[in-house]
């Protein structure tokens, strides 16, 4: 299949969290499975360019609303058997940041959505599947279903993946005019929300198929507790919604080959892990002790991650337990402050690094004994899988992908567990889980080692997930075929068969709004065409 991935992030070029990792790994493995994959993503000012970048020869003309257009450059870069096309448009993407978090973000990414489609058309690279990732790509399904529905790219199956339902992308309604979209999109069972546009919500109505990044999260987001106000839309589309767990890119995250850690190791020989632990303690400025449990945290400091629960229980735990904590993260200034203060109060027990540091993230995964992830919600989570791969026991709240990947340790079922789970998003529940970890470490040392080995032996590779995506893609292509009338030539005669063909789209379409409608913005496109 010819697969077009549209993403605001792709590691190692641009990454704020797991989305960049997930899209990069998915792309590599799709290419490995023989598909022709192109990722289109913005060339932010912070993306490092090198000699592998080849300029697409012509400027790409991006057709906007009201007959206006802009031109951008595209750079093609080979990427593990696939190709990345970077959209260079400095007016919006010249600054280093991925998300400006200013109101102009909606215009930046609206432009990106249109530029991606126009580039496919102009370069004559027509995909079978358009795979959109998160809200920044949320206008693509609408563009393909409305103003551009006559173009070849619009025949592709449209798959929309929710990596995080919390961020839905609220936009002013002026975006409709900016892109020359029909005002019909501005209605409650479409993109309209609170007087503006909700890019994620609309995309959920328009995509042919919807996926999210774990089966448990696919269930959770259909409930008011986890649905961030649009659980109703997801229940409406539940027939087309599937949860597919992310995998690990073992090329980047494997204790056997990792070059960012001081020693490599495997499940049969932990001597390398002991070296990693000692080096981590040294670098973190903690006493080097191999008989004290070391708890690691690598995280965005955001409400999603539940680290306020950790901040609540640490003062008590650090004051009485023999343990060490190494935390790397940034985000909420209040949490940054609390954790830094704790490190100041307990310099022998806690080390805090505020910021983003990939090497230290690898060091923590490899050197820690436990990894703490008390997430309030977690669509998939990659860190708990990295932890298990590195023989570091994850302590996780039972939510989303954490449920689907971590098997709780239970002394009554030896040889099965891979981590420690707790249920309530409550400090006492987390305290219980950390105390259980201390108990496992100190009182059941051989069981601790076997839980560690269990996790390391699990297979979190992408291959299985790629097969599930392939099935979704095939279904999307099939469904989308039904949404278009067959080509005029194929109509045999005036009578019955023609009538049948006319009926077919409505029957085959999964939801009313997933069917393309007639373009309402013809003036924009014709005006632009005339100029050509
Ligand atoms: P999310 O995407 O919600 O942040 P994930 O667990 O899916 O959570 O992915 C987080 C990714 O971001 C991991 O690769 C993790 O190592 C990385 N990461 C998060 N914070 C930092 C940081 N401060 N420094 C380095 N890497 C980080
Ligand atoms: C999001 C989610 C995280 C997931 C990642 C990759 O950032 O918060 O749980 O692992 O996307 O899919």
487: pLDDT confidence band, cut at 50, 70 and 90? low
pLDDT at 483: 76
Q: How far is the first Cα of the chain from the last one, in angstroms, to the nearest whole number? A: 32
In this structure, the chain runs to a length of 532
**pLDDT for 452-477, tens place per residue?**
999 999 999 999 999 999 999 999 99
Is the Cβ atom of 19 under 6 angstroms away from ligand 2? Answer: yes
Please state at what angle helix 427-443 crosses helix 307-320, rounded to 10 degrees.
50
Rg (CA), the chain: 25
Question: Buried b vs exposed e over 343-381: b needs ≥16 C-beta within 10 Å?
Answer: beebeebbbbbbeeeeebbbbbbbbbbbbbbbbbbbbbb
What value, to the nearest 5°, has the Cα angle with vertex 274 and ends 308 and 459? 70
DSSP 199-262: HHHHHHHH-SEEEES-HHHHHHTTSTTTSTT-HHHHHHTGGGEEE----B-TTTS-TTT-SSSS
Contact 213, 21 (CB under 8 A): no
18-32 and 463-482 are packed helices; what angle lies between their axes, rounded to 10 degrees? 80
Report which protein residue has its CA nearest ligand 2's atom 1: 163
Could you read off the pLDDT of 393-433 as tens digits, one per residue?
A: 999 999 999 999 999 998 888 778 999 999 999 999 999 99
Confidence (pLDDT) at 237: 98
| DSSP assigned state of 530 | H
What pLDDT score was predicted for residue 493? 52
Q: Considering the chain, what is the average pLDDT of its residues?
A: 92
Buried b (16+ CB within 10 A) or exposed e, 271-283: ebbebbbbbbbeb
Probe residue for ligand 2, chosen from 7, 11, 19, 165 as the CB with the greatest number of ligand atoms within 8 Å:
19
Indicate the angle between helix axes 445-457 and 427-443, nearest 10 degrees.
110
Task: Kindly give the number of the ligand 1 atom that is closest to the alpha carbon of 365.
Answer: 16
Beta carbons within 10 angstroms of residue 330's beta carbon: 16
Handedness of CA 377, 382, 388, 392 (dihedral sign): negative
Q: How far apart are CA 350 and CA 344, in angstroms?
A: 8
pLDDT digits (tens, 9 = 90+) for 41-94: 999 999 999 999 999 999 999 999 999 999 999 999 999 999 999 999 999 999
130-166 exposure pattern, b = at least 16 Cβ within 10 A, e = fewer = bbbbbbbbbbbbbbbbbbbbebebbbbbbbbbbbbbe
pLDDT higher than threshold 60 for residue 515: no
pLDDT band at 492 (very low <50, low <70, confident <90, very high): low
Ligand nearest to the CA of 329: 1
Instruction: Quote the pLDDT of residue 412.
Output: 83
- Using H for helix, E for strand and C for coil, what is the string for 35-54? CEEEEEEECCCCCCCCCCCE
Indicate the SS3 state at residue 496.
helix
User: Tell me: the pLDDT tens digits for 280-315?
Assistant: 999 999 999 999 999 999 999 999 999 999 999 999
Q: Strand, helix or coil at 72?
A: strand
Atom of ligand 2 minimally distant from the CA of 213 = 12
Pocket test for ligand 2, best of 215, 381, 404 (most atoms within 8 A of CB): 381
Stretch 125-152: mean pLDDT, rounded? 98
Percent with pLDDT over 90 in the chain: 88
Ligand nearest to the CA of 379: 2
Question: For tokens 């126009």, what's the residue?
Answer: 118
The reported pLDDT for the residue numbered 484 is 74
Are 164 and 190 in contact by the 8 Å Cβ rule? The answer is no
Predicted pLDDT of residue 101: 85
Neighbour-count burial of 245, counting CB atoms closer than 10 A to its CB (0-12 exposed, 13-18 middle, 19+ buried): buried
* Range list of H helices, 6-88: 18-32
The pLDDT value recorded for residue 496 is: 47
Confidence of residue 185 (pLDDT cuts 50, 70, 90): very high
Helices (H) and strands (E) in the chain, counts: 19, 19
Task: Among 166, 380, 386, name the best residue to mutate to test ligand 2's pocket (greatest count of ligand atoms within 8 A of Cβ).
Answer: 380
Query: What confidence score (pLDDT) does residue 108 get?
Result: 98
Which is it for strands 192-193 and 196-198: parallel, antiparallel or unpaired? antiparallel
Beta bridge partners of 408: 419
Domains and CATH numbers, the chain: 2-247+473-479 (3.40.50.2000), 271-456 (3.40.50.2000)
The whole-model pTM stands at 0.91
């Amino acid at each position: 299949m010819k697969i077009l991935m549209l993403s605001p992030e792709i590691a190692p070029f641009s990454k704020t969290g797991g989305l960049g990792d997930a899209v990069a790994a998915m792309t590599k493995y799709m290419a490995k499975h023989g598909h022709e994959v192109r990722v289109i993503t913005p060339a932010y000012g912070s993306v490092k360019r090198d000699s592998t970048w080849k300029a697409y020869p012509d400027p790409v003309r991006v057709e906007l609303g009201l007959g206006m257009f802009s031109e951008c450059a595209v750079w093609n870069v080979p990427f593990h058997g696939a190709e990345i096309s970077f959209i260079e448009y400095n007016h919006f993407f010249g600054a280093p940041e991925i998300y400006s978090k200013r109101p102009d973000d909606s215009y930046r990414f609206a432009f990106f959505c249109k530029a991606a489609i126009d580039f496919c058309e102009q370069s004559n690279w027509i995909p079978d599947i358009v795979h959109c990732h998160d809200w920044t790509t949320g206008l693509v399904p609408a563009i393909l279903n409305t103003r551009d529905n006559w173009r070849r790219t619009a025949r592709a199956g449209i798959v929309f993946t929710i990596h995080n339902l919390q961020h839905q992308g609220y936009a002013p309604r002026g975006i409709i005019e900016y892109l020359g979209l029909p005002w019909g999109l501005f209605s409650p069972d479409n993109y309209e929300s609170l007087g503006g546009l909700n890019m994620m919500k609309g995309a959920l109505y328009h995509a042919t198929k919807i996926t999210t990044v774990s089966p448990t999260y696919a269930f959770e987001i259909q409930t008011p507790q986890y649905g961030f106000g649009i659980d109703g839309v997801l229940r409406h589309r539940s027939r087309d919604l599937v949860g597919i767990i992310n995998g690990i890119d073992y090329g980047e995250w494997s204790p056997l080959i990792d070059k960012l850690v001081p020693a490599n190791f495997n499940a049969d020989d932990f001597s390398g892990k002991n070296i990693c632990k000692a080096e981590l303690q040294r670098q973190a400025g903690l006493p080097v002790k191999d008989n004290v449990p070391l708890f690691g945290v690598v995280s965005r400091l955001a409400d999603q991650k539940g680290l306020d629960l950790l901040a609540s229980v640490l003062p008590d735990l650090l004051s009485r337990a023999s343990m060490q904590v190494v935390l790397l993260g940034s985000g909420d200034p209040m949490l940054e402050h609390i954790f830094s203060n704790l490190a100041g109060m307990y310099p022998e027990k806690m080390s805090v690094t505020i910021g983003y540091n990939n090497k230290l993230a690898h060091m923590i995964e490899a050197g820690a004994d436990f990894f703490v992830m008390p997430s309030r919600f977690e669509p998939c989570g990659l860190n708990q899988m990295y932890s298990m791969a590195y023989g570091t026991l994850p302590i996780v709240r039972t939510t989303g992908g954490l449920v689907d990947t971590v098997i709780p340790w239970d002394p009554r079922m030896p040889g099965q567990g891979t981590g420690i789970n707790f249920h309530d998003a409550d400090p006492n529940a987390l305290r219980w889980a950390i105390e259980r970890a201390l108990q496992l470490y100190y009182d059941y040392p051989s069981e601790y080692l076997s839980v560690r080995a269990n996790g390391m032996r699990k297979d979190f590779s992408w291959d299985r997930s790629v097969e599930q995506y392939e099935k979704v893609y095939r279904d999307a292509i099939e469904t989308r075929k039904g949404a278009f009338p067959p080509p005029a030539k194929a109509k045999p005669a005036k009578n019955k068969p023609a009538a049948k063909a006319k009926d077919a789209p409505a029957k085959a379409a999964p939801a009313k709004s997933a069917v393309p409608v007639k373009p309402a913005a013809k003036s924009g496109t014709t005006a632009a065409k005339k100029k050509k």
